[in-house]
Amino acid sequence: MNFPLPVVDVSGTPQEIGAQYGAQAGQLIRDNVAAYLERFARAKQLTPAMVKEQGAVFKATSRAHWPRLADTLDAMAEAAGVDADLIYAINARSELLYGSPTCGTPQECTSIGDLRNGKTLLAQNWDWHPAQRPYTLLLVTRDENGHEIAALTEAGMLAKAGLNNKGVGVCVNLLGSANDGTPGGVPYHVLLRSVLEADSLSWATRNAFRSPRSASINLLIGQSHQDGGEIIDLELVPGDGGWLHPEDGILVHANHFESSVPVYDTIKDWGGSSLFRSARARRLLLEKNDILTALKDHHSFPLAICRHVDPRDGEDISETIWTVLMDLDALTIRLIPGPPCEGGDGAEFSLR
């Protein structure tokens, strides 16, 4: 299959999955860890020793709350020849880079859920630093219990947007709140993976809410079903959370809070495109009835739904590096190199 990024397809127990992941993507994992160490140093003045120290804390919380996922990460680190504490640190890269109220809210990602037309569809533009694009991959895992997952992620991490063979899928957006910086949380990308470990929408929400958090995160989660699918959006902060339901079969989210969760939204200190992106994407969906058209929108270019680099952002430059389209009924994930206005049709992977 001619795919636009590496596909790591592994199977077995959590330890076997981790060992195969580390063996197949070892160089990419090592390169990604090195890239993040440089970024942590530039952006946050964190030395490698400081990163390892924080990674060890996240390792302990991952082991306590998600031991199977910790087994995977530990085995992957060993096979890739990387200190495990560094692996946990990059799975918590959002906390390390943005996990305090003074860091601001990165204006990244627009997520869409669509229940119309007899399908359960999830999609998003993943906006991130373009220097990280070379370290992305599609991780496909098939465990000893028959649970299969396909997730876009960065090398050494467990998940970003993805879906599983039970028809559960998730998209993700960064949020910023005054609660951020609370110690003792499960890493951002381990929490994401826990949602994909669920076999139903009910358990996906249980997994997300029951995981302690150090930073705010938004999860748009869906599940297909023969009698009709469902989607829900969870706005999770350290110690609290809110939720949103579809209207007219559509649910859209950007990088600000829209539920009634009682927390100070730090986007109020920064402003930005998030304040109109979700409303605009919803309106475009109702007008055009096409998800990809909405995700290619350039209003307020370059800081649009289809995001392009704005050099005025300095160290935090960002663009849409991947567009993700998931059909939870067909169990397919389509990945388009971003920005989507330039990426063509991309390629599709199916869990069937």
Return the pLDDT at 107. Answer: 67
Local confidence pLDDT in tens for the 352 residues of the chain: 578 999 999 999 999 999 999 999 999 999 999 999 999 999 999 999 999 999 999 999 999 999 999 999 999 999 999 999 999 999 999 999 987 766 666 667 999 999 998 999 999 999 999 999 999 999 999 999 999 999 999 999 999 999 999 999 999 999 999 999 998 999 999 999 999 999 999 999 999 999 999 999 999 999 998 778 999 999 999 999 999 999 999 999 999 999 999 999 999 999 999 999 999 999 999 999 999 999 999 999 999 999 999 999 888 899 999 999 999 999 999 999 999 999 999 999 999 8
Return the pLDDT at 131. Answer: 93
Return the pLDDT at 228. Answer: 82
Q: CATH 1.10.10 spans which residues of the chain? A: 7-98
Q: CATH 3.60.60.10 spans which residues of the chain? A: 110-350
Return the pLDDT at 2. Answer: 77
Return the pLDDT at 99. Answer: 77
Return the pLDDT at 105. Answer: 60
- For residue 163, the surrounding DSSP H or E stretch is strand 162-164
- What is the second-level CATH architecture of the domain 7-98? Orthogonal Bundle (1.10)
Neighbours of 266 (CB within 10 A): 23
Q: Which of 98, 240, 305, 250 is nearest to 181 (CA)?
A: 98
Q: Which of 173, 125, 138, 136 is nearest to 340 (CA)?
A: 125
**Predicted TM-score (pTM) of this structure:** 0.96
- What is the second-level CATH architecture of the domain 110-350? 4-Layer Sandwich (3.60)
Structure tokens at 319: 């663009």
Angle between helices 84-91 and 26-44 (to 10 degrees): 70
- For residue 205, the surrounding DSSP H or E stretch is helix 201-210
Return the pLDDT at 23. Answer: 98
> 151 pairs with which residues across the strands?
139, 162
